[in-house]
Structure 1
Amino acid sequence: MTIHEILRHYWGHSRFRPLQEEIVQQVLDGNDTLALLPTGGGKSICFQVPALVRPGICIVVSPLIALMKDQVENLKEKGIKAIAITSGMGKREIDIQLDNCVYGDIKFLYLSPERLLSELVKERIRHMKVNLIAIDEAHCISQWGYDFRPPYLRITALRELHPTVPVLALTATATENVVKDIQEKLGFKKPNVLRKSFERKNVAYVIFNLEDKFRKLFSIAENIQGTGIVYVRNRRETQEVARVLGLNGFSSDFYHAGLDHLARSAKQEAWKKGKVRIMVATNAFGMGIDKPDVRFVVHLDIPESVEAYFQEAGRAGRDEQRAYAVLLYDTSDVAQLRRKLELSFPSVDEIRKIYHQLGNFFQVAYGAGEGQSLEFDLPEFCSRFKLDVIKTLHALKFLEKDGYISLSESVFLPSRVKVMVTSEDLYRFQVEHSAFDTFIKLILRSYGGMFEQYTAIREYDIAKRMEQPYQVVKDMLTQLKTMEIIDYLPQSDKPYLQFVRPRFDNKDLYIDRRYIGDRKAIVTRQVEAVIAYAGSSECRSQFLLSYFNEASPPKCGICDICLEEKRRATAVNLPEQIENEVVQLLSLDHLSLDKLITSISLGSEKERIAVVRNLLDSGRIKTDGTRYYV
């Protein structure tokens, strides 16, 4: 099929969005390409369409496990075979999935960059017929980027395994430094950047510096119809702000990464379907959520960078209808942001101490632990050792950069089961262990493919069909695993921490001081840039587009700065305009003062009377005491 036939067949679109077709053609021509598309610009189609044109598999690297899982599900619904390998999956499960990519007809393999650490993964990729390497959120590979992730540097291993396969890097936020850095880090054969302007003509950017944020938030929710997102700083605030909105009559809910998978999914669906109007959330909300009719996005605090703000605000108005991106802040927010900046760069001694405490937390001996992937509860870890959460999280990132650990985001994995014996051996087991016979038959009838691969199951559904308690089902599955009849992987919903290297003694731990200093300088510039945005008197859209190196961006005409300029210009010319209208009215008829004032269309009553007095004083109009005339 041609690219247009594929677009029509799988997505139901008759034509590509602006720039999509050019990007697809560059990829099909075998060119390494960096595509800059604004949030909601349809980045996934740019790699999915060319990958479907050519035989072979497309490898997609993304840092966002939730987004990977969404895209895999969407592809499967279209009848396209795709899988994602994420943290929390067992070695045997990964082995089977990779085999399907080498020998089967899988079209898309989604990986987190951390997975490229594994020799097993790299060796299997070497034997795959790869037609494209797609890098989503490509700004993460650049130290100059706002969301630099050291594991992204390992993507170069893919190029070494398949040097002739084109690379498509995609991002919605990149300054000129980042654009150059992405191409260098990914080893582009020649520079090749396709960019669509980040200008959002339908989005009005508005900033208020005020103390009573709730009052302004209520006003926004009352005066702007439709759904909205309110971004706040932390999990506690999501609940508090949603509660206050609810008490004041606004349909609202809260969302953050600490909620379990079922709760997050339910809240997300309720908001997408319009059952909840306003979602109050941390920045964990929004990625991969394609809701085009968001009418307003409000930030109740200054975000950490212009890039982060632009991406989050960009979730408003994807349907090209008027929408509002509003930032509410006060002077204390600025001080808090700068304090957070300092906490984000712990000292080398503090990093060493946190590494030592990690070993104690997981009871990993010196020289042991290499390759272990362990569920990691950050709040519990910080509570046990009385650590600051922000400082600890960033210490872990520096340890990750230096190659000691790998830290994944929280990810929900359903329970999975694979039968580990042949069908003949399973039958024999059922005959010899009649207590398990009905249970095994029920599972095999309910879920297919268990002999070939790990299959997702729901213990609650099995319990309901068996008319047994949930725990009984869990116990029976666990017993079958102990007896090596099945492999049973219970569901999980936590981040994972992996010891990439054996545990070091603190005195042997090398921490790159220079890198920490460089990162602090970069992040400081980003923080100061977003503070400058909040306090700027320049057109909001102009400021943002200039930040992303767009040449001579136009004024938007709809932000608070542009509207204030229009108001001031109107105010300056208003007396002259009222004068012209008064003279025109009186040239047609002699009018009483009341009739004259009410006939004037411009200005307030006070402004109209002031103009009439000035005209009388200058002799341009006259009065006989009752009527006015020229």
Structure 2
Amino acid sequence: MSEMLSILEQYWGYKAFRPLQEEIIQSILSGKDTLAVLPTGGGKSLCFQVPAMATDGICLVISPLIALMKDQVENLKKRNIPALLIHSGMQRADVIQTLQNAKHNYFKFLYVSPERLETSLFKEYLPSIDVSLVAVDEAHCISQWGYDFRPSYLRIAELRKELPGVPVLALTASATEVVQKDICERLAKPALINSKASVKDGWHVYRQSFERKNLAYSAFKVDSKVAKLVDILKKVQGTSIVYCKSRKRTQEIANLLQMHGIAATNYHAGLKSEDRSKRQLDWINNKTRVIVCTNAFGMGIDKPDVRTVVHLDTPDCLENYYQEAGRAGRDGKKAFPVLLYDSRDLEELAVLHLVRYPSLEQIRSIYHALCNYLQIPVNTGQDKSYTFHFDAFIRNFKLNSNTALYALKALESDGWLDFNEKNFAPATLVFTTSKKGLYEFHKSHPELEEILTSLLRTYEGIFDFPGFISELLIAKLLKKDEAEIKKQLKTIAAFGIIQYIPQNTEPQIIFRKNRVAAEDLSFNLMLYYKRRDIFIERANKMIAYSTTSVCRSKTISIYFGDQNARDCGVCDNCLQQKKSGLSAKELESIAALILQNLTVQPLAAEELFYLLKGIPKEKAWRVIDFLQAEKRISSNEKGMLILS
């Protein structure tokens, strides 16, 4: 592995691998299909980037997140590693140019969104590309039982037929044992899951422990989430992420924090790209202490010194919660993931499946409205892409936004369409003239020399190959307005000096089948209802996590299949157990009995003690104190104990 360590230090500046990285790399180099389950911040990308640099050919990386792919490609280029990107928002000419470039051994990485895999253009060029490794990022998206199933990922299995003998590395941060097995089966190979590595029919499976010893998890049932949030941020100094479910709420919470003298900003996918970039950069550089965001924020963000991650709304599953909470304390120092909830949160989560899984009648109605909105005649539309503005669509047809959104997602899951809510496509540019032609253009258009010089200095390689640019960055460097920069670039392109495609953030819908009459819309209801039942089970596990009195870290680890997990000793429940002098088992069993009795009717303390036969009063009082501190029980005006 000395060569791998040399590559690691030469390009990334690290002198040692993180846990399991070395074993995963060795597995890949030996030609084995490999599944790596590593926690958020565990260094997944290096597991394919390092071995790819040591082998001939190009590494094909499949990822669902355009912004994340763009960031990785830019980071590789900064390290003088040539990389390419193809995504659903690109023009045909750019895709052709990129695929032609991929044929040359000069490039080491080709990042592709899964939708591109089945296009005729990609299939045409694939045999001429020397692929050494296929890396599947966010691999849980291929599992129909996973929390973020994406039908486009099912196309990866077909890709394997075109690349016999090429090993696959599947990567995910959060997958249960069922999902891990499904990932391997979907990629045409079964696997036996063990705690570290297991081999069956060619697959190696590596799973790092889900325990994060520096994280002190806690969950509080509160009357005022904002008051508790402010209290947390005043007690724990350092950078923080605050997660909310709605875009509007992110702005409201950020404003409230500012009123309390806390430097905060908000972030969500509805903001302009330049606003998102600035807010993210200010937070990373500690100009802003707290970023209040939707779950659009965090993927691919490498900020090690986050001290608190606070959820003001309960996530719908432990997978999402674990991934988002895991953005705290990546530097190994103590950090605090906190969940704030009230009774209404848990009640809403218990019935959320009614919203997330519309009826077949509703799905057919939304499909019919969509086809009319996009003006698609019956028996047409297959493989065509349409710009789609969701807000205008629901206004036009007076639709409920949640019903419409999840009906579209159901249609996507069943293979009828692809729905990209935010189809971010960065600006691309390449020079199309010779150096002599550029010199002549400089002489005849001196007013454009400044921007051309800035482009060539800022973006190495764009004279020869298409590359991403930021109009906003160029504007800042030249101290000009972004609109003026775009205008100048279009002018230069009109003279044939460059090929320039401006940044695009238009959402799109791609029809995968021709339009049919609504009543003829076929749907796999058995699979649809099974997904719904799994969603209900996951939601119930999230509710149980919120209200449990056992170790929170252990609860998470057991959920993901680590049955040997131990109490962490630092979460709120472990600290409360130490304070009460009771074991976790005692605390949980007595708490369950108290809650069971209070479900029937309010009780005076002495009445409750009578019903808790065999349990010493002292222990019962400790558990009552614990449940009151957790706001799971309280006293009414008569002094009787009741459920909160």
SS of the counterpart of 1:194?
strand
What is the aligned length? Answer: 567
Q: Structure 1 residues 450 and 364 mapped into 2: Cα distance closer, same or farther (>3 Å)?
A: farther
State the match for 1:292 in structure 2: 304
State the match for 2:535 in structure 1: 523
Which of residues 375, 391, 394 in structure 1 aligns to 2:406?
394
SS of the counterpart of 1:494?
coil
Is 2:298–2:327's contact at 8 Å kept on the other side of the alignment? yes
Which aligned pairs between 1:27-42 and structure 2 lie closer than 5 A? 27-42=28-43
State the match for 1:180 in structure 2: 181
State the match for 1:266 in structure 2: 278
Aligned partners of 2:16 and 2:476: how far apart in 1? 47
Which shifted more, 73-82 or 463-472?
Answer: 463-472
Aligned partners of 1:307 and 1:485: how far apart in 2? 49
Which amino acid counterpart does residue 273 of structure 2 have in structure 1? H
State the match for 2:367 in structure 1: 355
State the match for 1:47 in structure 2: 48
Provide, for residues 563-607 of structure 1, a one-character-per-residue CA deviation record: whole Å limited to 9, x for no partner: 111111199xxxxxxxxxxxxxxxxxxxxxxxxxxxxxxxxxxxx
SS of the counterpart of 1:42?
coil
Aligned partners of 1:310 and 1:530: how far apart in 2? 11
Provide, for residues 300-326 of structure 1, a one-character-per-residue CA deviation record: whole Å limited to 9, x for no partner: 111010110011111111111111111
Which aligned pairs between 1:432-443 and structure 2 lie closer than 5 A? none
State the match for 1:561 in structure 2: 573
Q: Structure 1 residues 467 and 36 mapped into 2: Cα distance closer, same or farther (>3 Å)?
A: closer
State the match for 1:606 in structure 2: none
Taking only the aligned residue pairs, the percentage that are identical comes to 47
Q: Does 1:365 align with 2:377?
A: yes
Which aligned pairs between 1:229-378 and structure 2 lie closer than 5 A? 229-378=241-390
Aligned partners of 2:473 and 2:179: how far apart in 1? 49
State the match for 1:91 in structure 2: 92
Is 2:66–2:424's contact at 8 Å kept on the other side of the alignment? no
State the match for 1:379 in structure 2: 391
Instruction: State the shift of 1:462 in Å.
Output: 8.5
Which amino acid counterpart does residue 514 of structure 2 have in structure 1? P
State the match for 2:144 in structure 1: 143
Which amino acid counterpart does residue 101 of structure 1 have in structure 2? A
Is 2:455–2:474's contact at 8 Å kept on the other side of the alignment? no
Q: Does 1:75 align with 2:87?
A: no
Q: Structure 1 residues 471 and 42 mapped into 2: Cα distance closer, same or farther (>3 Å)?
A: closer
Which amino acid counterpart does residue 86 of structure 2 have in structure 1? I
Provide, for residues 317-341 of structure 1, a one-character-per-residue CA deviation record: whole Å limited to 9, x for no partner: 1111111111110110012223432
Aligned partners of 2:161 and 2:146: how far apart in 1? 24
Q: Structure 1 residues 570 and 36 mapped into 2: Cα distance closer, same or farther (>3 Å)?
A: closer
Q: Structure 1 residues 454 and 190 mapped into 2: Cα distance closer, same or farther (>3 Å)?
A: closer
With structure 1 as the length reference, what TM-score do the two structures score?
0.83
Q: Structure 1 residues 418 and 107 mapped into 2: Cα distance closer, same or farther (>3 Å)?
A: closer
Which amino acid counterpart does residue 70 of structure 1 have in structure 2? D
SS of the counterpart of 1:203?
coil
Which aligned pairs between 1:199-218 and structure 2 lie closer than 5 A? 199-218=211-230
- Structure 1 residues without counterparts, runs of 5 or longer: 572-630
With structure 2 as the length reference, what TM-score do the two structures score?
0.81
Is 1:426–1:485's contact at 8 Å kept on the other side of the alignment? yes
Instruction: State the shift of 1:280 in Å.
Output: 0.8
State the match for 1:603 in structure 2: none
Instruction: State the shift of 1:422 in Å.
Output: 8.7
Q: Structure 1 residues 482 and 48 mapped into 2: Cα distance closer, same or farther (>3 Å)?
A: closer
Provide, for residues 204-235 of structure 1, a one-character-per-residue CA deviation record: whole Å limited to 9, x for no partner: 11111121112211111011111111111110
Aligned partners of 2:504 and 2:378: how far apart in 1? 28
Is 2:305–2:329's contact at 8 Å kept on the other side of the alignment? yes
Which amino acid counterpart does residue 133 of structure 2 have in structure 1? L
Q: Structure 1 residues 487 and 497 mapped into 2: Cα distance closer, same or farther (>3 Å)?
A: farther
State the match for 1:132 in structure 2: 133
Q: Structure 1 residues 293 and 446 mapped into 2: Cα distance closer, same or farther (>3 Å)?
A: closer
Is 1:204–1:325's contact at 8 Å kept on the other side of the alignment? yes
SS of the counterpart of 1:228?
strand
Which amino acid counterpart does residue 37 of structure 1 have in structure 2? L
Q: Does 1:499 align with 2:500?
A: no
Instruction: State the shift of 1:271 in Å.
Output: 0.7
Instruction: State the shift of 1:114 in Å.
Output: 1.4
Is 2:422–2:506's contact at 8 Å kept on the other side of the alignment? yes
Aligned partners of 1:419 and 1:320: how far apart in 2? 45
Q: Structure 1 residues 460 and 20 mapped into 2: Cα distance closer, same or farther (>3 Å)?
A: closer
Which amino acid counterpart does residue 143 of structure 1 have in structure 2? Q
Q: Does 1:537 align with 2:528?
A: no
- Structure 2 residues without counterparts, runs of 5 or longer: 190-200, 584-644
Instruction: State the shift of 1:454 in Å.
Output: 4.1
Provide, for residues 107-164 of structure 1, a one-character-per-residue CA deviation record: whole Å limited to 9, x for no partner: 1111111111312112222221111111111111111111111111111122111120
SS of the counterpart of 2:35?
strand
Is 1:444–1:450's contact at 8 Å kept on the other side of the alignment? no
SS of the counterpart of 2:103?
helix
Aligned partners of 1:466 and 1:218: how far apart in 2? 40
Aligned partners of 1:301 and 1:103: how far apart in 2? 49
Q: Structure 1 residues 3 and 416 mapped into 2: Cα distance closer, same or farther (>3 Å)?
A: closer
Is 1:203–1:316's contact at 8 Å kept on the other side of the alignment? yes
Provide, for residues 242-266 of structure 1, a one-character-per-residue CA deviation record: whole Å limited to 9, x for no partner: 1111101111111111111111111
CA-based RMSD of the aligned residues comes to 3.0
Instruction: State the shift of 1:477 in Å.
Output: 6.5
Q: Structure 1 residues 314 and 259 mapped into 2: Cα distance closer, same or farther (>3 Å)?
A: same
Aligned partners of 2:406 and 2:465: how far apart in 1? 38
Is 1:298–1:325's contact at 8 Å kept on the other side of the alignment? yes
Is 1:447–1:455's contact at 8 Å kept on the other side of the alignment? no
Aligned partners of 2:566 and 2:79: how far apart in 1? 41
Q: Structure 1 residues 326 and 480 mapped into 2: Cα distance closer, same or farther (>3 Å)?
A: closer
Is 2:27–2:204's contact at 8 Å kept on the other side of the alignment? no
Instruction: State the shift of 1:96 in Å.
Output: 0.4
